[in-house]
């Protein structure tokens, strides 16, 4: 089973040229997804002509002859039915709040249907959307079928319904009682009709008077999650259970300012990610004030109506196309894998920088850099570490012990004298001074550069068909990490064969000097049998020589500046069974002078993953080597690789060689 990869940050996609293909892929995949958990907010209602609800907006409260302003946030908190003190709120503030909300209600009642709401109706009807959790309370998301409408969870309530603070208030639907809205618009204060009728039946005048303040109508809305959607709520547990079966959490027009909504979204995202799904956020505005790394995978920064229309078009196209008879059933992805493919099928160039040289004093054998534990050769200025009370090692682990072969015990005076006149074993002249008197620890086996030498450099291009992106990604990581371990500069750039154009130039940022680096060209494609050749992209294949010429055109400039060019065909070896094509390829290598070495594999069925480790080792083994060492190093690397050697037969072709050498 596939496993998701950690998303370092949210990938923002817009209509810029670099994101066009990626954006189209995400939209197409959304249209194909069969199980979606949807979250929406007030941003989806803007296309219907409704204004964006700003909680900092001021409403005017008329108190007698004076007026004062109150934020919409405070009005919601004071007048909410969830507020235990709501019954004691002043009638002036409640009237101002009711007038504001009735205006929103009347405008929403006559608002046209947006494209997003059409998309919502269709996806709910086709049972693609498991649940729709919305903070909008305008009621525009109401579904014609009451059974389907139950799938819509209005987290902040519903402005179309009015209730009072009486515990058993049944509430009223404002559209059925139009006169209520007219009274609220003019007066702002209206008593709840059903609860008032019940109060009139009470014989006690005192009890009836006490309930008067509680019988004032107000919209059944709030800006906090209800109890059933809190962490211990039954509805929240039910939603989380449904999210486990979803492949997509789609968030549309929902600001993440509320901590409660953000926590709910984060928990839903976690459940969807555990099912190998994705989280997509759609809004024109950037996400501010929230860290969405590892939570939201894609942010589609586009108009919500445009997004909805494109989804509807893709859904129609997908339905009309039906099953593609030309598609390979083995390559069709299951619903549980489609988002894994989209999320991780992004290969970025990898690079490693050259480590800066340590210019301070350090032991030339073990690298110890503590100056209190070092002694310096008077001839070559090399340093070796010696026993010291300040050192991290004991006497037996130091690289040098003064008088180690004389049998005398070192004392401070003799040690100081030895340090002043110290000569390292490489500068010691045995003909003049005799045997070396000091103990020197055997030098460890390590890879070191010669002094004043230049670290090797390498540029690699990985051509791959889209279906081989996991192998290309794996090889990129292996090569980059290996060169980084050595502290050598490298640049690895993947390039999809389906998007290759002759005018395209690769490695635009590579400004290394001529002759100071090697280049590797890796091919992850299909080796074909009838006729022999290599697949360039869907429905097109070329003969070996034509394939190499076509793919090396974008590399013409960098190959001309490189020291050596190595090409490796990580694919099946069917073209190698054609003597004519082998001869033509060898003649092209000899005469064209573009590729120095071409490494292929004889296998009729090759698993590219088995070759990745060997190729990564080969890049560092060939670094900075002369031409005469290339073939022996390739052979030795292949023979000493426990995986590649047992799963492949490898012919190597070099320039100016009459025939291939079969390993």
Q: Residue 235: CB partners within 8 Å, gap ≥ 6?
A: 153, 226, 228, 229
pLDDT at 450: 45
The verdict on whether residue 380 carries a ligand-binding annotation is: no
Peptide bond into 531 cis (omega under 30): yes
Does domain 7-48+111-156+227-320+334-346 sit in CATH 3.40.50.2000? no
Residue ranges per structural domain of the chain: 7-48+111-156+227-320+334-346, 51-109+167-221, 371-440, 457-654
How confident is the chain (663 residues) per 10-residue block, as mean pLDDT? Answer: 53 82 92 94 88 82 82 85 76 89 89 92 94 91 87 92 88 82 88 86 62 84 90 92 94 92 95 93 89 91 94 90 53 73 83 73 82 89 82 66 71 68 90 88 53 78 93 94 89 90 73 90 93 89 93 89 93 92 91 88 90 94 85 90 85 62 43
CB contact at 8 A, 179 and 187:
no
CATH number of the 457-654 domain: 3.40.50
Reading the block at residue 366, the tokens are 């073990």
The verdict on whether residue 364 carries a ligand-binding annotation is: no
139 vs 135: CA distance, rounded Å: 10
The verdict on whether residue 169 carries a ligand-binding annotation is: yes
CB contact at 8 A, 407 and 422:
no
11 vs 38: CA distance, rounded Å: 19
The verdict on whether residue 164 carries a ligand-binding annotation is: yes
pLDDT at 262: 94
Domains 7-48+111-156+227-320+334-346 and 457-654 share a fold: yes
287 vs 291: CA distance, rounded Å: 9
Question: Dihedrals φ, ψ of 139, to 5°?
Answer: 85, 5
87 vs 212: CA distance, rounded Å: 9
Helix, strand, or coil (residue 176): coil
By CB atoms closer than 10 A (0-12, 13-18, 19+), residue 74 is middle
pLDDT at 210: 60
Sign (positive/negative) of CA torsion 506, 510, 511, 514? negative
pLDDT at 32: 92
């Amino acid at each position: 089973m596939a496993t998701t990869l950690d998303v370092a940050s949210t990938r923002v996609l817009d209509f810029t040229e670099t994101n066009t293909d990626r954006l189209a892929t995400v939209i197409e995949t959304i249209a194909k997804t069969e199980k979606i958990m949807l979250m929406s907010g007030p941003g989806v209602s803007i296309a219907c002509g409704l204004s964006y609800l700003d909680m900092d907006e001021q409403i005017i409260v008329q108190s007698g002859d004076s007026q004062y302003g109150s934020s919409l946030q405070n009005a919601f908190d004071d007048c909410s039915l969830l507020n235990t003190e709501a019954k004691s709120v002043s009638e002036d503030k409640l009237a101002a709040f009711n007038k504001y909300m009735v205006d929103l209600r009347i405008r929403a009642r006559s608002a046209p249907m947006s494209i997003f709401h059409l998309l919502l109706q269709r996806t709910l009807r086709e049972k693609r959307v498991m649940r729709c959790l919305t903070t909008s309370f305008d009621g525009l998301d109401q579904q014609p079928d009451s059974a389907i409408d139950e799938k819509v969870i209005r987290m902040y309530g519903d402005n179309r319904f009015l209730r009072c603070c009486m515990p058993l208030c049944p509430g009223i639907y404002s559209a059925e009682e139009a006169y209520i809205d007219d009274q609220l618009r003019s007066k702002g204060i209206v008593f709840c009709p059903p609860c008032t009728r019940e109060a009139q039946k009470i014989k006690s005048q005192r009890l009836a008077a006490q309930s008067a303040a509680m019988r004032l109508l107000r919209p059944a809305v709030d800006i906090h999650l209800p109890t059933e959607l809190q962490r211990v709520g039954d509805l929240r547990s039910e939603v989380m259970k449904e999210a486990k079966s979803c492949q997509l959490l789609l968030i549309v027009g929902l600001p993440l300012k509320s901590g409660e909504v953000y926590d709910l979204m984060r928990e839903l995202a976690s459940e969807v990610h555990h099912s190998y799904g994705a989280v997509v956020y759609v809004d024109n505005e950037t996400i501010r004030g929230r860290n969405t790394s590892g939570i939201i995978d894609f942010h589609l920064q586009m108009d919500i109506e445009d997004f909805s229309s494109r989804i509807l078009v893709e859904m129609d196209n997908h339905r009309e196309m039906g099953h593609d008879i030309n598609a390979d059933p083995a390559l069709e992805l299951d619903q549980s894998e489609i988002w894994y493919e989209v999320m991780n099928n992004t290969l970025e160039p990898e690079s490693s920088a050259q480590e800066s040289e340590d210019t301070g004093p350090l032991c030339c054998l073990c690298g110890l850099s503590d100056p209190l534990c070092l002694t310096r050769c008077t001839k070559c200025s090399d340093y070796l570490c010696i026993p010291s009370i300040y050192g991290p090692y004991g006497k037996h682990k130091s690289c040098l012990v003064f008088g180690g072969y004389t049998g005398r015990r070192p004392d401070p005076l003799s040690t100081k004298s030895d340090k002043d006149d110290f000569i390292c074993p490489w500068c010691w002249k045995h003909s003049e001074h005799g045997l070396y008197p000091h103990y020197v620890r055997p030098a460890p086996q390590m890879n070191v550069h010669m002094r004043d030498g230049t670290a090797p450099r390498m540029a690699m291009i990985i051509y791959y068909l889209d279906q081989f992106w996991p192998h290309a990604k794996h090889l990129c990581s292996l090569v980059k990490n290996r060169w980084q371990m050595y502290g050598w500069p490298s640049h690895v750039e993947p390039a999809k064969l389906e998007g290759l154009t002759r005018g395209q130039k690769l490695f635009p940022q590579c400004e290394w000097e001529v002759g100071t680096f090697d280049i590797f060209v890796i091919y992850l494609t299909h080796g074909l049998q009838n006729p022999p050749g290599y697949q360039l992209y869907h429905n097109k294949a070329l003969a070996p020589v034509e394939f190499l010429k076509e793919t090396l055109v974008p590399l013409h400039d960098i190959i001309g500046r490189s020291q050596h060019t190595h090409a490796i065909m990580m694919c099946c070896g069917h073209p190698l069974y054609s003597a004519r094509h082998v001869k033509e390829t060898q003649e092209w290598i000899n005469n064209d002078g573009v590729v120095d070495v071409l490494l292929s594999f004889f296998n009729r069925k090759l698993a590219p993953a088995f070759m990745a480790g060997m190729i990564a080792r080969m890049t560092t083994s060939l670094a900075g080597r002369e031409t005469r060492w290339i073939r022996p190093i390739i052979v030795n690397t292949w023979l000493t690789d426990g995986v590649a050697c047992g799963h492949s037969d490898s012919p190597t072709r070099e320039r100016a060689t009459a025939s291939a050498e079969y390993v």
